[in-house]
Structure 1
Amino acid sequence: MARRETDPPRELLLLKLLPNLVSILALCAGLTAIRFAIAGNFPMAVLLIGTAAALDGLDGRLARMLKSESAIGAELDSLCDFVNFGVTPALVLYLWGLRPETSLGWIAVLVYAVCCMLRLARFNVGSRQAGQAAEKTVFIGVPSPAGAMLALVPMYLVLALDHAVTLPPALVALWMVAIGALMISRVRTPSLKRITIAADHARYVLVGLVVVVAALLTYPWVTLLALSLAYLAAILGLFLRSLRRTAG
């Protein structure tokens, strides 16, 4: 029902705007990554994309905790995801290693961005359709934040080796297209949302997380490369398990 002019203005707790603010901060981080990439500061660009990914994992949880979920918030989150994980990584990679192959590199940028858009559209439609299970225990296809971090693997490798190797632009373009294909594929990928552990093991998990954070701060590129490879190994494990189930 539309609000009448004589009705008192609807009040909203300022705290309930926090999830949308986090989404906007993530967008600002993603756009600023492009600025640093243009300036040639690619490590900072990667850091800002990682910050956007961390904030993306936070806004939805804040909305559920504060009971401030809304249609506008969902649309805002999806639009920010496309910019942060579809447009920004593609442009950063183009500026970093694809400009020598201008035409081929730009084709890879377009393919990756379109795949990210299609991935987000499929997820949004699946989440809103009645009777269709949302992607909770596993994802169908690589989610866009993980896809963005995987797309940057060539940069992790070169930075971890302190520029001792140079990757051919065609290889970087092929990698981008492959990650885009994984995003729109029907391959099942792991989700951290529903992973459970025994209560007795919680302290070990916390120590492990501290080790990962310390490694990220001390050896960021090696750690990011190792985490990306571990994630790809988990995808391969799920794929092989599904093949065994189908064969059985």
Structure 2
Amino acid sequence: MEGPRPRRMSIIGLLPNMLTVGALCAGVTAIRFAMEARFGAALLLIFFAAVMDGLDGRLARLLRSESQIGAELDSLCDFVNFGVAPGLILWMWALQDMKAAGWIAVLIYVVSCLLRLARFNVGHRAIDATAEKAGFQGVPSPAGAMLAFLPMFMAFAWGTGALHGGLVAVWMAAVGALMIGRFHTPSFKKLTFEAQYVRFVVVGFAALLAALLAYPWATLVVLDLIYVGIIGVSLLRGATKPRKEPPDGA
């Protein structure tokens, strides 16, 4: 008697997971480049990992190949790419001379990223499935990594050396606090616009891409500062609304 036929999957259906694993390879390689003092290349690899992280989930939904293992892979890779890797890169760039104090800042940032991802996973699975439909609670981990790298972007844009380690350490800890915050930040994938403005959006995207290619570090500084402004607006709006008791958990 023949047993059940093994389940077959197409190569196309594996593309989202391949993107996720590719992002992990980029993040781990960024750590290697940082160890070789190739910090510019390390930052570009983390940025590349963030782009792939934004694509894998959308591709999975488009191909209808979403799975539990894919979700777990995505979360684990996010922790390495946007938690562990940025912490180590910033440590090697500016914090080694601070020794214990610098390492404490790294640990605060990495643990905050871990708690952020754990809360996100729990919210999607059981406790509060609607928590992040209209936006995010706190700063998402890819955006947190880009914010944490702001001192590096500024140093490279201005052609200076590493900024003072104390400032970098305080900034890392502050970004960690933003990631585990309970305030709401917008989800740009929910952004919509009228069809008549499509041409302006396309031209704007082309201009942004050109700026990233011509002046990558200065453009990333500007994007970070714009996002900091968005966070400030979100905090002000949250302060004017009546507070609700948050659910228990991370």
Residues 130 and 242 of structure 1: CA distance in aligned 2, closer, same or farther (over 3 Å)? closer
| 1:217 and 2:213 correspond | yes
Q: Note if contact 2:154-2:221 (Cα within 8 Å) is conserved in structure 1.
A: yes
- Distance in 2 between the 1:225 and 1:65 partners? 32
> Greater shift after overlay, 89-98 or 183-192?
183-192
Runs of 5+ unmatched residues, structure 1: none
- Distance in 2 between the 1:245 and 1:104 partners? 37
Aligned residues: 243
Q: 1:123-156 CA deviation, whole Å, 9 max, x = no partner?
A: 0000011663041321100000000000000001
Equivalent residue of 1:189, what SS? Answer: strand
Alpha-carbon distance, 1:42 to partner: 0.5
Partner of 2:187: 191
Partner of 1:127: 124
Equivalent residue of 1:9, what SS? Answer: coil
Matches within 5 A, 1:1-248: 6-129=3-126, 132-163=129-160, 166-246=162-242
Runs of 5+ unmatched residues, structure 2: 244-250
Identity of aligned residues (%): 55
Q: 1:68-114 CA deviation, whole Å, 9 max, x = no partner?
A: 00000000000000000000000000000011101111111111110
Residues 7 and 188 of structure 1: CA distance in aligned 2, closer, same or farther (over 3 Å)? same
Q: Note if contact 2:183-2:238 (Cα within 8 Å) is conserved in structure 1.
A: no
Residues 130 and 40 of structure 1: CA distance in aligned 2, closer, same or farther (over 3 Å)? closer
Q: 1:146-173 CA deviation, whole Å, 9 max, x = no partner?
A: 000000000011111101x652111101
State the Cα RMSD in Å: 1.6
Task: Name the TM-score, length of structure 1 as normaliser.
Answer: 0.94
- Distance in 1 between the 2:92 and 2:218 partners? 22
Task: Name the TM-score, length of structure 2 as normaliser.
Answer: 0.94
